């Protein structure tokens, strides 16, 4: 039996086929089809489609304007189900398994405490090889959660920017961060533990509150300000360059322990083909530059003013306009020594009487106070003594060794005397005696 209608087919109550009511069984618009219908034109459904059992198979597209509610698992096998195209929201509260490509505009994953995406390879772990998780979210403000990446290695092939918002920055608490390219830091970089770098290029401030260990060359293209104490430790003497490695270099280097086991500090200047040397400058009280001294490449030290030191040892020639030192020695032999009259030990309670012994004599005695000085009795033949009164000093008398022996032979005389007066205002201000045959012969040099 068949029903053919070239126009509308109206059933006002019910339609029964072979004693089976297929339309209007309960006086509603329910259509019951017990066999496979063939629809050769479009089928429009304005309400929901509820699929209780069985399969929906189609060789074309199924376009739905409403929601699709599945109480069973949606499974695609072979060519019967190749993908899902969705232009709205696809919500899933269970497990969504996909062995192909999942292409979507936005993907939202929600879990009350911890939501994550697990990724695994065919030969990887049965649980996951890499997990990207989200936790510690805020109900009031978006973007305040914690992103965790659980993986053995994380490779970023393009730029990584972490300088946006209040909580910017990269914090590493366990293993290291390896960067094989340029790491650009716009803001401050804070390291609470050790940080190892093959090189650092910094155009701003570099602040270090702990130890900074540099195992390779550090290049600073601007000023380096050190507010603490710098410490240089280079115990390997092999680091000191050889003559073939610094012919064209420029700059300054500091080395330690160049003389084996001596613990010395070595300063090395690179002259870049010039004469080199070391030049010392200071900023004076008037904020002006003052050149203190210069040591050239021939080991010559040029002093621009006086120098004060305990001793000076020169293996070559030494030239100066004046010498202000109590002793000058040549080849360990004293050739010039000076002593103040006031520094000579006095005779008992009479500190104004100064007696000179035969040994340990100074060549020049400067009379800076009044009193009496007694020359030695029998020093070595040829011993020369010069007594010179300082301007403004009081009168000092020069006596023979006992004050009475007439062994002082003054210039131009043949007879001896026992005293020579060096007055403070006039008269003799300089006297030089040379010992010969027990006499002190005065000469005017």
Return d(Cα 212, Cα 214) in angstroms, integer: 6
pLDDT of residue 132: 93
Q: Where is 293: in which H helix or E strand?
A: strand 289-295
Domain boundaries along the sequence of the chain: 337-443
Return d(Cα 92, Cα 70) in angstroms, integer: 10
The token pair that represents 157 in the structure block: 């092939």
Is residue 418 within 8 A of residue 427, CB to CB? The reply is no
pLDDT of residue 78: 45
pLDDT of residue 312: 72
**Strand, helix or coil for residue 342:** helix
pLDDT tens sequence for the chain (445 residues): 566 666 666 666 677 767 776 665 554 555 666 666 777 777 777 666 676 776 666 666 666 666 666 666 565 554 444 556 666 666 766 666 677 777 777 778 888 888 888 888 877 677 888 999 999 888 888 888 888 899 888 887 776 666 555 555 666 666 666 666 666 666 666 666 666 666 666 666 666 666 667 777 777 777 777 777 777 665 555 567 766 666 677 888 888 777 766 778 888 888 887 888 999 999 988 889 888 889 998 888 887 666 667 777 777 777 766 666 667 766 666 667 788 888 888 876 777 788 888 888 888 888 888 788 899 988 888 888 888 887 776 788 889 999 999 988 888 888 889 998 887 666 667 888 888 887 887 765 4
pLDDT of residue 396: 84
Is residue 441 within 8 A of residue 409, CB to CB? The reply is yes
pLDDT of residue 58: 67
- How many C-beta atoms lie closer than 10 Å to residue 21's C-beta? 14
pLDDT of residue 79: 41
**What CATH number matches the domain at 337-443, 2.60.40, 3.90.930, 2.60.120, 2.40.30?**
2.60.120
Rounded to whole angstroms, what are the CA distances from 212 to 197, 206, 232?
Answer: 11, 11, 11
CA 276-278-282 angle, 5° bins: 140
């Amino acid at each position: 039996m068949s029903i053919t209608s070239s126009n509308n087919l109206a059933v006002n109550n019910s339609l029964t086929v072979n004693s089976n009511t297929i339309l209007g069984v309960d006086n509603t618009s329910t259509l019951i089809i017990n066999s496979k219908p063939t629809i050769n034109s479009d089928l429009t459904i304005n309400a929901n489609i509820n699929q209780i059992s069985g399969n929906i198979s189609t060789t074309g597209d199924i376009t739905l304007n409403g929601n699709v509610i599945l109480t069973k698992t949606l499974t695609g096998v072979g060519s019967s189900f190749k993908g899902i195209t969705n232009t709205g929201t696809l919500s899933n509260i269970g497990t969504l398994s996909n062995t192909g490509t999942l292409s979507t505009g936005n993907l939202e994953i929600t879990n009350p405490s911890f939501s994550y995406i697990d990724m695994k390879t065919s030969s990887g772990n049965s649980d996951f090889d890499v997990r990207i998780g989200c936790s510690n979210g805020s109900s009031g403000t978006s973007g305040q959660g914690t992103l965790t990446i659980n993986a053995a290695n994380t490779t970023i092939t393009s730029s990584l920017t972490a300088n946006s918002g209040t909580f910017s920055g990269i914090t590493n608490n366990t293993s290291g961060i390896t960067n094989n390219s340029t790491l650009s830091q716009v803001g401050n970089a804070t390291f609470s533990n050790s940080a190892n770098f093959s090189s650092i290029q910094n155009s701003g401030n570099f602040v270090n509150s702990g130890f900074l260990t540099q195992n390779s060359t550090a290049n600073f293209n601007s000023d380096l300000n050190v507010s603490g104490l710098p410490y240089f430790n280079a115990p390997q003497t092999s680091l000191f360059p050889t003559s073939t490695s610094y012919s064209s270099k420029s700059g300054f280097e500091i080395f330690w322990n160049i003389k084996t086991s001596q613990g010395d500090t070595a300063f090395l200047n690179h002259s870049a083909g010039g004469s080199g040397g070391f030049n010392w400058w200071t900023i004076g009280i008037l904020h002006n530059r003052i050149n203190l001294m210069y040591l050239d490449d021939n080991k010559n030290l040029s002093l621009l003013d006086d120098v004060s030191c305990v001793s000076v040892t020169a293996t070559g020639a030494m030239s100066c306009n004046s010498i202000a030192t109590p002793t000058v020695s040549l080849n360990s032999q004293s050739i010039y020594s000076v002593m103040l009259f006031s520094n000579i030990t006095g005779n008992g309670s009479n500190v104004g009487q100064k007696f000179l012994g035969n040994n340990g004599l100074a060549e020049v005695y400067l009379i800076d106070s009044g009193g009496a000085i007694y020359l030695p009795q029998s020093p070595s033949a040829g011993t020369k003594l010069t007594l010179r009164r300082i301007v403004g000093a009081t009168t000092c008398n020069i006596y023979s060794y006992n004050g009475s022996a007439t062994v002082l032979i003054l210039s131009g005389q043949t007879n001896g005397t026992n005293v020579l007066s060096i007055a403070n205002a006039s008269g003799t201000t300089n006297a030089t005696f040379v010992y010969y045959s027990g006499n002190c012969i005065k000469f005017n040099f």
